[in-house]
A and B are shown apart, each in its own frame.
Chain A
Amino acid sequence: MLKQAEGSHAVAEAIALCRPQVICAYPITPQTHIVEGLGEMVKAGELDCEFINVESEFAALSVAIGASATGARTYTATSSQGLLFMAEAVYNAAGLGLPIVMTIGNRAIGAPINIWNDHSDSMSMRDAGWIQLYAETNQEALDLHIQAFALAEELSCPVMVCMDGFILTHAYDRVDVPSQEQVDAFLPPYEPRQVLDPSDPVSIGAMVGPEAFTEVRYLSHHKQLRALTVIPRLAAAFTSQFGRDSGGLLRTYRTDDAETIVVALGSVNGTIQEVVDEMRQDGARIGSVSLCAFRPFPLATLREALKDAKRVVVLEKCLAVGLGGIVSDGVRKSLSGIVLNGYTVIAGLGGRAITRASLRRLFEDAGRDELEQVTFLDLNADVISHELEREGKQRRTGPTAEAILRRIGTVASRIG
């Protein structure tokens, strides 16, 4: 059914349609509306499930691990510092092979404290063994959750569905919410590979020494490599069941004859596509790739999409401090042996708006190969040089963030 809904609420409805048996909830902005929505459905009797209010994010995922180990379809959600606080359990869930689905309402990580969107949180857990899918729109966020349970349970591997905090979670958009019958036809009941069952006792979570640790890890890797086949198959099955394209490893946009290809994750792809259209009208040969699967990283599929380009611009909402891009690393790996110009652009950190105007300037610079290897989009050079000069002149400069805020002045009056 078509409706106009907040992204978080649309996702909550999708989760409910997946018939979760246990939901662990702990609030953190900007994810909170999702579990609130689910809590309301449980309270109203619309969703029959164990809804557990826990005391922390660490508890949220720990309870989810316990619940999943008993064979329950299990869901939780978090953001930012919350994901960091549950980090140990994040690795455990993957190491144990428990098919938990968790939404990440993507948000920056402090300090300085910042509640706005970027991808630092989910990127920090990129090697924990979870599959990571990034939604471009609220429709896709809704759809990916339905696919995520199918994917997680087929592989016995936890899945993070990442959606941009505020930009998607708090946006009202048109979404098509499927019927229960459609979702039931797509998503069979969970049939676990391992169950904690008093009548048939097993132990889960053995200590493993050097004799077998590598093999357990290799099998996790192997599982993710299998996901490279399962993800497109589920996306195709989803299309035939629901009549729309959602998910998959990646999507190309006007890349066929493109000399410049932009690669990005998540909601910024919409704005990028608008700029691609504008520049195409003016004769530029430019296209873009929206990476939906980041773990597993679709090396071969991406290589196929990029191999004929002259240059690739990777636009990232995250920063590997001291290196540059995180997504860029995978993109470069996919291009092994292919010679082209590669650029990393760090954009949208801590919620900075990524505008058409800035992207157009950036892509035009890229088209002339006038970009640095690593560029920070819309970096305020005046603030940086002033701060560096101040640090050069005196020892006791005080806290950096506060000094910059004083220089910038009030921001409530600004639009962009």
Chain B
Amino acid sequence: MFQIRIHGRGGQGVVSGAELLSVAAFLDGRHAQAFPSFGSERMGAPVMAFCRIDDKEIRLREPVLTPDALIIQDPTLLHQVELFNGVPKRAYILVNSTKSLDELGLGGFARGIQQYRLCTVAATELAMKHVKRAVPNVPLLGAFAAITGAITLPSLLAAIREKFSPAIAENNVRAATEAFDAAGKAREAVDA
């Protein structure tokens, strides 16, 4: 089972991001379960959503406590929320930021005993470029597909087209694809 925890703020599409992940995994022929952190979704407030992907039916209903991947949609949460709770060694961590890991103060996590496979994605910038709104969820999912391989890009794009109206979907498809390509190039560095 592959477990993902998405952190962000209300209005950034955290819950939609988890749903899209689950639809993409479903389209890949896998079982998936996505659910929000239940209710406290207000604009700007810290929000969490979860996704599990497996090859068999998922019975577990607890929150994702030991994520294989963490998606951080808002880097200002780094200092407010216990984001790294339960995150095991070698987990994938994607941070929405234009800064480097060291500038974010995260370099140590990558080099230290955690050996986190960290990657920054300029997701808000990609969203502004293609979608004209600061909604970083879709570009982060594109990067997630490239970095983890837990979902495929074609299924992610299909999930986007299922969720959004045609015009908005195509903008998001472009954002996801550019993030996927950029992250793919960075993947070797992350895996190293």
Do chains A and B stick together as partners? yes
Binding site for B on A (CB under 8 A): 3-4, 6, 29-30, 115-117, 166-167, 170-174, 267-271, 273-274, 351, 353-357, 412-416
B59 touches A416 (CB 8 A): no
Q: Which residues of B contact A269 (CB under 8 A)?
A: 59
Q: Are A172 and B65 in contact (CB under 8 A)?
A: no
A273 touches B59 (CB 8 A): yes
8 tightest Cβ-Cβ pairs between the two chains A and B: A270-B59, A4-B26, A172-B34, A171-B35, A166-B38, A412-B46, A172-B22, A355-B62
B residues 55-88 in Cβ contact with A at 8 Å: 57-63, 65, 80-82, 85-86
Checking A29, A174, A271 against B61 with a beta-carbon cut-off of 8 angstroms, the contacting residue is: A271
B18 CB contacts on chain A under 8 angstroms:
172
Contact A270 B60 (CB under 8 A): yes
A-B contacts besides A174-B31, A356-B60, A415-B86, 15 pairs, CB < 8 Å:
A6-B19, A30-B39, A116-B38, A166-B39, A170-B36, A171-B34, A171-B35, A173-B22, A269-B59, A270-B61, A351-B39, A356-B62, A412-B45, A415-B5, A415-B65
User: Smallest distance from the beta carbon of A254 to chain B beta carbons, Å?
Assistant: 13
Give chain B nearest CB distance to A377 CB in angstroms: 12
Contacts of A173 in B (CB 8 A): 22, 32-33, 58
CA of A269 to CA of B59 in the docked complex: distance in angstroms? 8
CB distance from B21 to the nearest CB of A (A): 9
Given contacts A413-B80, A414-B82, contact A274 B26 (CB under 8 A): no
Chain B residue with minimal CB distance to A166?
Answer: B38
Whether B63 and A174, one on each chain, are in contact in the complex, defined by CB atoms closer than 8 angstroms, is no
Chain B residue at smallest Cβ distance from A358: B62
13 contacts between A and B (CB under 8 A): A4-B32, A29-B39, A30-B39, A166-B35, A167-B38, A167-B61, A170-B35, A171-B33, A171-B34, A172-B19, A174-B32, A271-B62, A413-B81
Q: Does B131 contact A (CB under 8 A)?
A: no
A354 to chain B, nearest CB (A): 7
Q: Let me know if B14 is at the binding interface, CB within 8 A.
A: no
Most buried by B among A115, A412, A415: A415
Give the contacting residue for B62; candidates A3, A115, A354; CB below 8 A.
A354
- List, in ascending order, chain B residues with CB within 8 A of A351's CB: 38-39
Q: Is the CB of B63 within 8 A of A416?
A: yes
The CA-CA distance from A355 to B61 in the complex, in Å, is 8
Is the CB of B40 closer than 8 A to any CB of chain A? yes
What residues of A have a CB within 8 angstroms of the CB of B60 in the complex? 270-271, 274, 356
Task: Collect the chain B residues with CB atoms within 8 Å of residue A166's CB.
Answer: 35-36, 38-39
Q: Closest CB-CB distance, B75 to chain A, in whole Å?
A: 15
Decide yes or no: A412 and B38 within 8 Å by CB, A174-B26, A353-B63 being known contacts: no
Q: Tell whether, in the assembled complex, residue A115 and residue B39 are in contact, meaning their CB atoms are under 8 Å apart.
A: yes
CB-based contact B61/A267 at 8 Å:
yes
- CB-CB under 8 A from B35, the residues of chain A are 166-167, 170-172
B4 interface residue per 8 A CB criterion: no
Q: How far is the CA of A271 from the CA of B61 in the complex (A)?
A: 6
Contacts of B46 in A (CB 8 A): 412-413
Chain A residues whose C-beta falls within 8 Å of the C-beta of B151 in the assembled complex: none
State A354–B63 Cα separation when bound (angstroms). Answer: 9
| Contact partners of B85 in chain A: CB under 8 A | 414-415
Within the complex, the shortest CB–CB distance from A344 to chain B, in Å, comes to 21
Closest to A356 in B: B62
Instruction: Answer whether residue B173 sits at the interface, using C-beta atoms and an 8 A cutoff.
Output: no
- In the complex, which of the residues B34, B58, B59, B85 has the most CB atoms of chain A within 10 Å of its own CB atom? B59
Bound-complex Cα distance A171 to B26 (A): 14
B39 touching A268, Cβ below 8 Å: no
A416 near B65: Cβ-Cβ < 8 Å:
yes
Minimum Cβ distance to chain A for residue B141 (Å): 14
CA distance A173 to B58 in the complex (A): 9
- In the complex, chain A residues whose CB is within 8 Å of the CB of B80: 412-413
Cα of A116 to Cα of B37 in the assembled complex, Å: 10
Q: How far is the CB of A342 from chain B (nearest CB, A)?
A: 25
B157 touches A (CB below 8 Å): no
Would you call A116 and B39 a contact (CB within 8 A)? yes
A138 CB to closest chain B CB, in angstroms? 9
Asked if B48 CB lies within 8 Å of chain A CBs, one says: yes
- When the two chains form their complex, are residues B63 and A415 in contact, meaning their CB atoms are under 8 A apart? yes
Q: In the complex, A413 Cα to B19 Cα: how many Å?
A: 22
Bound form: Cα–Cα A413–B83 in Å: 8
Alpha-carbon separation in the docked complex, A171 to B61 (Å): 10
B81 contacts A412, C-beta separation under 8 Å: yes
Residues of chain A within 8 A of B33, CB atoms compared = 171-173
- The answer to whether A415 touches B59, judged by C-beta atoms less than 8 angstroms apart, is no
Select A353's contact among B19, B31, B58, B62, beta carbons within 8 Å: B62
Q: Is B32 touching A274 in the complex (CB atoms < 8 A)?
A: no
Q: Is the CB of A274 within 8 A of B59?
A: yes
The reply on B143 being an interface residue by CB < 8 A is no
**How far, in whole Å, are A115 and B152 apart by their CA atoms in the complex?**
36
Specify which chain B residues have a CB less than 8 angstroms from the CB of A4 in the assembled complex.
Answer: 22-23, 25-27, 32
Cα A355 to Cα B62 with chains together (Å) = 5
Q: With a CB–CB cut-off of 8 A, which chain A residues contact B61?
A: 167, 267-268, 270-271, 354
Could you tell me the distance between the alpha carbons of A356 and B64 in the complex, rounded to whole angstroms? 11
